Amino acid sequence: MRLKDKIALVTGAGGDIGSATAKRFAEEGATVILSDIKADGCEKVLQEIVGKGGKKGSIILADVTKEEDIVNMFNRIKQDYGRLDILAAIAGGDFENNVAFEDITSEKMSYNIDVNLKSTILCCREAAKIMMEQQYGKIINMSSLTYRGSSMQFTYAASKGGIFAFTRSAAMALGMYNITVNALAPALIEVGIIKNTLGPEMWEALRDDCASRYPMGRVGQPIDAANLVLFLASDEASFITGQVIELSGGARL
């Protein structure tokens, strides 16, 4: 068991990558705190974890665009568990997708920055307060391959690029407390939100186009991301910090 007796928080735990991560953590012995803005996905994941003999963690609902929700969530974790070993900050998404450059709005841009970048910074800050005290922690943030630039996701790419820079910066500050900070930068991962937004025809066209360009010949699956998060959360990755790992099947090499 690679996460035996560890306490882990997964934000975005009701989503596809977050739920796959929470389940992998539980399979490896962690007690998982599931957080999302909505309850239904988390409840399903918690039931599945317990049904498979995993430890019964808990659900904490929080809107990560609200600082108060984030602070309350970490206070509750401190109160209920007394420690936090792992933070997987996965909540996020693109709320200004496929908008023409000249149509960027301040409102949607702000939301993209808040839900992706600001939420990551605030979750890391609150997690670090607990982890610094215990001199142990593993933080895994969610960037995206769009950090390299995207011709369709301008403000999302900017927010994920911010996560790239912040992850490296946080690693510099927190290493002395035995806290590692890393991030994933996935290319296209097959998830419900993208499939539902595009509809079957457009999804298949996108998937096939990406698969033809990615050297590994396929798009990613949530489990690919979950396995990388698990590795970075484990003690096998103790000497890895400040890294933003491209999970891309070789895309854009």
**Residue among 93, 198, 240, 242 that touches ligand NAD (CB under 6 A):** 93
User: Does residue 177 carry a catalytic annotation?
Assistant: no
User: Which residue from 215, 33, 11, 24 is spatially nearest to 122, judged by alpha carbons?
Assistant: 11
Using alpha carbons only, give the angle 160, 164, 169 rounded to the nearest 5 degrees: 140
The residue among 17 and 174 lying less far from ligand NAD, judged by its C-beta, is 17
In whole angstroms, the minimum distance from the beta carbon of 228 to ligand NAD comes to 12
Contact 228, 198 (CB under 8 A): no
In whole angstroms, the minimum distance from the beta carbon of 14 to ligand NAD comes to 4
In whole angstroms, the minimum distance from the beta carbon of 55 to ligand NAD comes to 22
Helix (H) or strand (E) holding 217: none
Binding of ligand NAD by 17 (CB under 6 A): yes
Phi-psi region of 218 (alpha: psi -120 to 50; beta: other; left: phi over 0): beta
CA 144 to chain centre: 10
Binding of ligand NAD by 232 (CB under 6 A): no
In whole angstroms, the minimum distance from the beta carbon of 179 to ligand NAD comes to 21
Q: Compute the distance between CA of residue 80 and CA of residue 73 in angstroms, rounded to an integer.
A: 10
Cβ atoms within 10 Å of 245's Cβ, excluding its own:
16
Q: Which neighbouring-strand residues pair with 247?
A: 186
Binding of ligand NAD by 90 (CB under 6 A): yes
Contact 83, 128 (CB under 8 A): no
Considering only residues 184 through 223, tell me which ones interact with ligand NAD, judged by CB under 6 A. Answer: 186, 188-189, 191-194
Binding of ligand NAD by 161 (CB under 6 A): no
**Residue among 64, 139, 179, 232 that touches ligand NAD (CB under 6 A):** 64
Q: Which residues lie closer than 8 Å to 249 by C-beta, 6 or more apart?
A: 187, 214, 215, 216, 217, 218, 219, 220
The number of residues that bind ligand NAD (CB under 6 A) is 27
Q: What's the burial of 168, exposed, middle or buried (CB within 10 Å: 0-12/13-18/19+)?
A: middle
In whole angstroms, the minimum distance from the beta carbon of 95 to ligand NAD comes to 8
Binding of ligand NAD by 14 (CB under 6 A): yes
In whole angstroms, the minimum distance from the beta carbon of 13 to ligand NAD comes to 7
User: Which residue from 8, 26, 170, 10 is spatially nearest to 92, judged by alpha carbons?
Assistant: 10
Binding of ligand NAD by 162 (CB under 6 A): no
The residue among 149 and 192 lying less far from ligand NAD, judged by its C-beta, is 192
**Residue among 38, 44, 52, 252 that touches ligand NAD (CB under 6 A):** 38
135, amino acid identity: Q
Given the rule CB under 6 A, which residues bind ligand NAD?
Answer: 12, 14-18, 36-38, 41, 63-65, 90-93, 115, 142, 144, 186, 188-189, 191-194
The residues annotated as belonging to the active site are 156
